[in-house]
Structure 1
Amino acid sequence: MEGSGGSGPRVLVVGAGLAALGAAQRLRAAGHLHLLEARARAGGRICTRPFGSGLAELGAHWIHGPSEGNPVFRLASCYGLLGPSAAEEENQQVEAGGHPLLPSVTYGSSGKVLSPELVNSTRAIFSDLLDSTHVFLHADGLPAPSVGQYLRAEIARLAPTWEGDENTKQLRLAILNACFKLECCISGTHSMDLVALGPFREYTTLPGLDCTFPGGYSSLPDRMLSALPKGTVLLNKPVRTISWQGSFREDGDMEKEFPVRVECEDGDSFLADHVIVTVPLGFLKERHQDFFQPPLPERKAEAIRCLGFGTNNKIFLEFEQPFWDPDYQLLEVVWEDESPLAEPSTDLEANWFKKLIGFVVIQPPEQYGHVLCGFIAGKESEYMETLSDAEVLSTLTRVLRTLTGNPQLPAPRSILRSRWHSAPYTRGSYSYVAIGSSGEDIDVLAQPLPEDASDPRPLQVLFAGEATHRTFYSTTHGALLSGWREAERLNDLYGATEPPCPTP
């Protein structure tokens, strides 16, 4: 495999995120290979930035389920990018169910720490209800179209049976409402009412205690990039149009015909036998109609329309001194007057910050300084992107003073945040299976073009990225596997069967 020359087919990859780099890593059939990346950096939705005295992950944060079944974990281990605890056998066997297990404290909006017993017993109710959704996978009749509607109906049924006075019951509802917000962050959606109930449990969680990269998540794509021949990845090269089913020739070579031409926004164009498209679903939703010529088949366009793609942003705050107890790694937030059984506020300007689930304490402080990372999803998260750093910092200072009951709490000294919705080549964070869609739409999105298997020029346009993996959508490991999958499709087509390199 070479960046610019060699015998064999010409392959272009649109993007240079984990799916694209995974495809390049495994692609043995290509003679010419180029990755066209719109931004000035590789890595896609993996984005590590300096902050405080260390690093901040603006995109992917944890390896979810770091165990032998996770290719990102295996590759990172192979490259020596993980800390010693990630390799411990017992950590690889923990069933976290997709939720990072962190010692936590829960602040109520009245300025007091809430009873851990009440918080934990309420979270157990929510967890049990979430677990009960697995019975609806492939079921004929559903009690509700969405996860949110099902959970709320169950909560309404259970609430009258709870013990305690009215205040305790209201507090339990408020904690459950906070659980919904956390689930929105995990699912990358504005509301669990948008997430389809039937296919919800098709998403598969892997065992393992979620871990981070000591040198930053970007150390993984950086390492993969360094293994590619110089010149393979072209940065600042946004693609305008992918023309397929064509007969394109290069000037001066009338012999060879190519079915694919990729035109970039700077006027450059590239001819290829195959193109692997790894752009995010959010970009496809906005641009697919003018991005492909001829347009995508209706079935694929419909899958793009129906699948969900939401925003989950992070807000990093650096403090001179910590106000939190060093034993806690997660500061959770509960607005005590809220309930999942009440209509949520639609006044984003007044209430956007209430969608924050709380703050993860970035560890260890000796390496990173005193840094909190807040998580916020949905329309509120998108509204937050429109505000200035000063407005966000001022609002969150007020929120933290309210939660801690300390009106003198010093303001953070610096702020850094992600803006995935306004990023033009991303338009959000990751995919979910929305009402009106199913896992079959993910498979349709992953299908190469042309659809006709008897076409003499097969696999002209291939699709990879987290939104094309039926059971690991929304994850880095889903993205990596999808890139490997499409590389193997081309390897199989050309009979390139020698073992892949590197092998995790």
Structure 2
Amino acid sequence: MASGGDGAEASGGRRVLVVGGGIAGLGAAQRLCSHPAAQHLRVLEATACAGGRIRSERRFGGVVEVGAHWIHGPSQGNPVFQLAAEYGLLGEKELSKENQLVETGGHVGLPSVCCTSSGARVSLELVAEMASLFYGLIDQTREFLHATETPVPSVGEYLKKEISQQVTGWTENEETRKLKLAILNTFFHVECCLSGTHSMDLVALAPFGEYTVLPGLDCTFSGGYQELTNCIMASLPKDVMIFNMPVKTIHWNGSFREGTFPGEAFPVLVECEDGSRLPAHHVIVTVPLGFLKEQQNTFFDPPLPAEKAEAIRKIGFGTNNKIFLEFEEPFWEPDCQLIQVVWEDTSPLQDTAPSMQDAWFKKLIGFLVLPPFGYVCVLSALREAGPFIRSVCLRKQHVGLTASHF
């Protein structure tokens, strides 16, 4: 939200407010610090800490990522990678040219182990065959980016249509055919995690190809993702961040006068929950989409233009979930990195909608093996987007998990 006034020079520069202290707000503040406006820059964060969905916690004797986990596509075109490299937060392997040049196509790597929900091992060759089929179809969906019309509206419908045709050519016995469909169903759930949705039927086919896949093998921060936000915070002037300052309403497109700045009119006035009224020439809003969906009617005064309000209403998103499981000793092999789960008797071609209360766990796609924390072994269960869970930490004795479940 921008200014049309000219009184900035009289008071020593333009006053800029950033609403939201997540990675977008911190990035904006860092960029503005090299601008003359930095003298009057403030970041208003509603909570007691910065970082938004980047949140590293010390649990189980080590660091676990409650929020963001990976740098996807760690290469020179990725600003997060560039910052992490600049701050010395990555190791030699992650910084190597070889790692940066690997083309993954945005596809998740194959698991170390794959098991059915009854505990039987699944052939990794069969998993690789289904992965090749699924990701080949995913690559095809990107070809409709500039198409004048598409055969079906959504990515999910396209995938199911193509898989249905493939099934007719399968010559295996019924048991193997059902297992192959269950494996494909798992890959559907994986793709839902990547796209942040609970169904690929909600992802439009035509614009799906807009997603840019950067080269590089996904990597993590050994000391936690929050190291990145800590470094950005340390680069900002000490008085820039204002915590525990939720914003109530942004009054814009006006001419506001405040006693602190006599004789000057400001085009924007930010009203906070505690009654504070902060005038500004410019305001950068970086709050989450979910917050905008819920609060936009009262958050902006006057309301946003109709086209912007409609865009906020139409854009969708989901919540990816994690469950951390602690074990006294591992039941997996030392080199195991990912345990994939295939839920038996499931198929992407069946539009079944079991009660989330009874079957939420069937959205689990697998278990990431975290680096060992001393004498503690931890799995991070990944669950596709949905409303039921955000992040939960469980101990083995509370959930009764044993090796036979995987």
Structure 2 CA distance for aligned equivalents of residues 271 and 115 of structure 1: 63
Contact 2:60 2:373 in 1 (8 A): no
The count of aligned residue pairs is 393
1:378 aligns with 2:380: no
SS in 2 for 1:119: helix
Decide whether aligned partners of structure 1 residues 301 and 189 sit closer, same or farther in structure 2, where only a CA change above 3 A counts.
same
Residue in 1 that maps onto 2:75: 67
Q: In the alignment, is residue 7 of structure 1 matched against residue 12 of structure 2? A: yes
Deviation at 1:366, TM superposition (A): 5.1
TM-score normalized with structure 1 length: 0.75
Opposite residue 374 of structure 1, the aligned amino acid is A
C-alpha contact (below 8 Å) 1:10/1:273 kept by paired residues: yes
SS at match of 2:264: strand
Unmatched segments (≥5 aa) in structure 1: 1-5, 405-504
Q: 2:289, 2:76 → 1: CA distance?
A: 28
Instruction: State the partner residue of 1:190.
Output: 198
Aligned equivalent of 2:3? none
Q: What residue in structure 2 maps to residue 142 of structure 1?
A: 150
Which residue matches 1:324? Answer: 332
Who is 1:116 aligned against?
124
Residue 21 of structure 1 aligns with which residue? 26
Is contact 1:345-1:351 (8 Å) kept?
Answer: no
What is the alpha-carbon distance in structure 1 between the residues aligned to residue 108 and residue 233 of structure 2? 29
Separation in structure 1 between the aligned mates of residue 366 and residue 12 of structure 2, nearest angstrom = 54
**CA apart distance, 1:79:** 0.8
Name 1:106's counterpart in structure 2: 114
Cα distance change, pair 322–307 in 1 and its aligned pair in 2 (3 A)? same
Identical columns (%): 55
What residue in structure 2 maps to residue 227 of structure 1? 235
User: How far apart are the structure 2 equivalents of 1:368 and 1:304?
Assistant: 47
- Tell me the amino acid that sits aligned with residue 192 of structure 1: M
SS in 1 for 2:58: strand
Shift of residue 336 of structure 1? 1.4
CA-to-aligned-CA distance 1:397-417 (integer Å, 9 cap, x gap): 45x56533xxxxxxxxxxxxx
Give the match for residue 403 of structure 1: 405
Q: Of residues 310, 316, 326 in structure 2, which corresponds to 1:302? A: 310
- Decide whether the 8 Å contact of 1:362 with 1:368 is kept in 2: no
Offset at residue 300 of structure 1 (A): 0.4
CA contact (8 A) 1:261 1:270 kept: yes
Aligned partners of 1:102 and 1:329 also within 8 Å: no
* Structure 1 SS opposite 2:284: strand
Which 5+ residue runs of structure 2 have no aligned equivalent?
1-10
Question: What is the 5 A alignment of 1:383-462?
Answer: 383-384=388-389, 397-398=400-401, 403-404=405-406
Q: Deviations over 1:437-476 (max 9, x none)?
A: xxxxxxxxxxxxxxxxxxxxxxxxxxxxxxxxxxxxxxxx
Per the alignment, residue 294 of structure 2 pairs with: 286
Q: CA RMSD in A?
A: 1.9
C-alpha displacement of 1:373: 0.7
Q: How far is the alpha carbon of 1:60 from its aligned partner?
A: 1.1
SS of corresponding position for 2:340: strand
Question: Could you give the per-residue CA deviations for residues 401-436 of structure 1, whole angstroms, max 9, x where no partner exists?
Answer: 6533xxxxxxxxxxxxxxxxxxxxxxxxxxxxxxxx
Q: CA deviation at 1:88?
A: 1.1
SS at match of 2:262: strand
Contact 1:52/1:368 (8 A) holds in 2? no
